Amino acid sequence: MAENVYDAIVVGSGISGGWAAKELTQKGLKTIMLERGRNIEHVKDYTNANKHPWEFPHAGGRTQEMIKNYPVLRRDYVLNERNLDYWVNEKESPYVEVKRFDWYRGYHVGGRSLMWGRQSYRLSDLDFEANAKDGIAVDWPIRYDEMAPWYSYVEKFAGISGSKENIPHLPDGEFMPPMELNCVEKDVAARIKQHYNNNRHMIIGRAANLTQPHHDRSNCQYRNKCWLGCPFGAYFSTQSATLPAAMATGNLTLRPFSIVTKVIYDKDTKKAKGVEVLDAETNQTYEYFAKVIFLNASALNTTWVLMNSATDVWPEGLGSSSGELGHNLMDHHFKVGASGMVEGYEDKYYYGRRPNGIYIPRYRNIGEDKRDYIRGFGYQGSAGREGWSREIAEMNIGGEFKDALTEPGSWTMGINGFGETLPYHENKVTLDKNKKDKWGLPVLAIDAEIKENERKMRKDMMNDAKEMLEIAGVKNVNTYDADYGLGQGIHEMGTARMGRDPKTSVLNAHNQVWDATNVYVTDGAAMTSAGCQNPSLTYMALTARAVDHAVNEMKRQNI
Amino acid sequence: MNRREAITAVAWLMGGTLISAEMLVSCTTKSKDVSDLFKPEQISFLNEVGDTILPTTNTPGAKAANVGEFMAVMVRDCYTPEDQKIFLEGFDKLNKASDEKFDKEFMQLNPKQRTDLLTALDAEQKEHQRTKGPEDPNHYFRMMKELTLLGYFSSEVGATQALRYDPVPGRYDGCMPYKKGDRAWAT
């Protein structure tokens, strides 16, 4: 094998890139995985994972210097001193906000698989048929039947804990035993179920946290420090799961500090030959060649690579012939909900820090329910007892005050909605060639916003939260609609959507770029609509399915 | 890493029996030099303020957690220049309030007087909080109180003695019996 020649190239090492590498190498393909950032080695490089609260000089908070250096990250909780190293250096890698767009990135081996929320839900035909039924955007080229076996396949390997609920539009999966609801959550769930005649459900979150040992990984130890990297390998990440599996085949080469600047396109064969890489440390340029290329650089960066590629054929980049490349950007809108106090249960508490909460699956615009908007939302939340930071009205300072704070306070319960964002053609990213990053590369300009459908939905998200909590007996319920910025859900989706027609979509039903069929896109960019479920499990399933397709196509010599 | 190895690593990192608490404190002091903004006597002052807010009961008080130094680090690194100014002016304001009430500076007061003074200041800051505009800065004593609580309950003393801390719970029980007096979990 000549130098720089492989069977397959994977661009990006996050959730979907890790899966692509695992599947390709296990099917015998010599594969190189290119990651733009540094390496983070499993366990060894989780530098803060075993620190105690008092070992962080600012109690885990943020300094003025951090606030200055991270003008985007500071907009949410994600800016904190505990895992600062896992977030992109914003000065080195700027982007342009035509409208506010919060883009929280992780540029390192593992990508955001290290910091993700781990909630793992299947989409259903309620989602896959939605665009066609509503007559918006384009139809998904796939249906649940085709995805179900791939969901099962990835769940079995990743390890998803959850409960079987027989909810048609939130299909059950191959679950490890569920985590437990606490006593207040159990009672609230029972009251919601009863009041809504079993049409609304509150269930334990389905999480990529192991509740049993799995392969070489330990079960969850209930530290709730997942976002620091888990020394037990108890949640799914590239490092804990797909990377070791890919490495074990002997077929994987991992190359960090490798910024893929373009896909090299061959006009004669109408296929991609390889990719061009800029070494982030040396600024040297390299070429890597392969029969098949998987783009898994995260939704917006995958589109950035496509926009930089084959511009001599298509000025707007590889995959732009439909005019849809860069368009239909989506996120999940959230930060709206309610919370309140729960009376009683003073003789109940909990042990362990559960890295998971409750989930209320979508119930709006299903069956007979019709709203003044389309699609719907789910809720995530939890119940717990207040800690030392609570106000104690009648106490000021001193020994009694201190001793009162050393005991847990009242129970509270809160739920936060996660709503579907529609794929609007005008919500888009483009290349801004006037602004350059540290490596002299053009940056993305992001021009997107939520619209009337989302705003109407948010009213329901707030009012329904209050109604359900009150029905469940929660007192003093307060609602909120906090400062949500598009992108803050960290679920960037779309910009290279799948579809049935090369004239209106970038990818076909197997995630192949219509304009170069040996290039597959299986990260969030591929999404045709957003659903309201956390999307990563779908990327895993799409990736495994696409690799299977690619390997079969190679055998048939179609690519 | 399996569970036992990880627990060993945890024990080693937290010091376990290998590093004495004293050594940890001295290491910490060195790495958190705040002399650019605070004089040593101001750290002592803040420790006494903290210890009046959260005194020794059947568990150690805030001074045992060295909250004075924690406050100084937080004010230096995390506060805006505007809030730093308010906090630093708080030393004089607190002493002035003490002088008006007891004809002595705060450090000269006995514990009962300190408690009376800071109780009055806490009422004052709560009133300030009720009446101030949303963009107006907080009262200096609110800053001191907030930092005392944060510093104490996130310290080793506060987390492991005033609260209960389990670095590796290993399991989850969503419905554990609780009786009045049982301490809350740290973090």
Q: Which pLDDT tens digit goes with each residue over A347-398?
A: 999 999 999 999 999 999 999 999 999 999 999 999 999 999 998 877 889 9
CB A260 within 8 A of CB A34: yes
Given a cut of 50, is residue B13 above it in pLDDT? Answer: no
Given a cut of 90, is residue B23 above it in pLDDT? Answer: no
Residue B4's pLDDT is 37
In terms of C-beta density within 10 A (0-12 exposed, 13-18 middle, 19 or more buried), how is residue B136 classed?
exposed
Given a cut of 80, is residue B16 above it in pLDDT? Answer: no
Among candidates A179, A397, A408 on the partner chain, residue whose Cβ is nearest the Cβ of B115: A397
Residue B7's pLDDT is 34
How many whole angstroms separate alpha carbon A112 and alpha carbon A87? 9
Given a cut of 70, is residue A5 above it in pLDDT? Answer: yes
CB A135 within 8 A of CB A151: no
Q: Which residues pair with A287 in a beta bridge?
A: A276
Residue B34's pLDDT is 85
Given a cut of 80, is residue A160 above it in pLDDT? Answer: yes
Residue type (1 letter), A508: N
How many whole angstroms separate alpha carbon A441 and alpha carbon A433? 8
Q: Chain centroid to CA A58: how far?
A: 28
A46, A48, A54, best to mutate vs chain B, most B CBs in 10 Å: A54
pTM of structure: 0.94
Among candidates A53, A398, A399 on the partner chain, residue whose Cβ is nearest the Cβ of B186: A53
Contact A408 B184 (CB under 8 A): yes
Q: Which two tokens stand for residue A260?
A: 């893929």
CA-nearest residue to A214 within chain B is: B2
Count of pairs with CB atoms under 8 A, one residue in A, one in B: 181
Residue B28's pLDDT is 38
Residue B32's pLDDT is 61
Residue B25's pLDDT is 34
End-to-end CA distance of chain B: give it in Å, rounded. 24
Shortest CA distance to A345 belongs to which of B128, B139, B178?
B178
In tens, the pLDDT along B77-123 reads 999 999 999 999 999 999 999 999 999 999 999 999 999 999 999 99
| Phi-psi category of residue A16: left, alpha or beta, with phi > 0 → left and psi -120 to 50 → alpha | alpha
Shortest CA distance to A503 belongs to which of A323, A338, A259, A358?
A323
Among candidates A59, A398, A406 on the partner chain, residue whose Cβ is nearest the Cβ of B162: A406
The position carrying tokens 């009262």 is B139
Average pLDDT over residues B22-26: 32
How many whole angstroms separate alpha carbon A295 and alpha carbon A26? 18
In tens, the pLDDT along B42-90 reads 999 999 999 999 999 999 999 999 999 999 999 999 999 999 999 999 9
Average pLDDT over residues A150-171: 98
Residue B36's pLDDT is 85
What is the pairing mode between strands A411-420 and A336-342?
antiparallel
Residue A2's pLDDT is 64
Contact A353 B79 (CB under 8 A): no
B37, B178, B179, best to mutate vs chain A, most A CBs in 10 Å: B178
- Give CA angle at A367 (A364, A371), nearest 5°: 40
Contacts of A181 in chain B (CB under 8 A): 174
Phi and psi for B5 in degrees, rounded to 5?
A: -60, -40
Contact A351 B169 (CB under 8 A): yes
What is the pairing mode between strands A512-513 and A516-521?
antiparallel
Given a cut of 70, is residue A341 above it in pLDDT? Answer: yes
How many whole angstroms separate alpha carbon B117 and alpha carbon B49? 10
When the pLDDT of each residue in chain A is averaged and rounded to a whole number, the result is 97
Confidence of residue B29 (pLDDT cuts 50, 70, 90): very low
CB B184 within 8 A of CB B164: yes
In tens, the pLDDT along A488-533 reads 999 999 999 999 999 999 999 999 999 999 999 999 999 999 999 9
| CA distance, residue A446 to nearest chain B CA (Å) | 30
Given a cut of 70, is residue A126 above it in pLDDT? Answer: yes
Contact A223 B167 (CB under 8 A): yes
Contact B74 A186 (CB under 8 A): no
Contact B170 A221 (CB under 8 A): yes
CA-nearest residue to A61 within chain B is: B78
When the pLDDT of each residue in chain B is averaged and rounded to a whole number, the result is 86
Among candidates B79, B171, B181 on the partner chain, residue whose Cβ is nearest the Cβ of A222: B171
- Give CA angle at A101 (A100, A106), nearest 5°: 145
DSSP code per residue over A224-244: --GGG--TT--B--IIIIIHH
CA atoms within 13 A on the CB side of A296: 36
Contacts of A354 in chain B (CB under 8 A): 172, 174
Shortest CA distance to A208 belongs to which of A217, A197, A200?
A217
How many whole angstroms separate alpha carbon B143 and alpha carbon B154? 16
Q: How many CB atoms lie within 10 A of CB A489?
A: 24
CB A520 within 8 A of CB A496: no
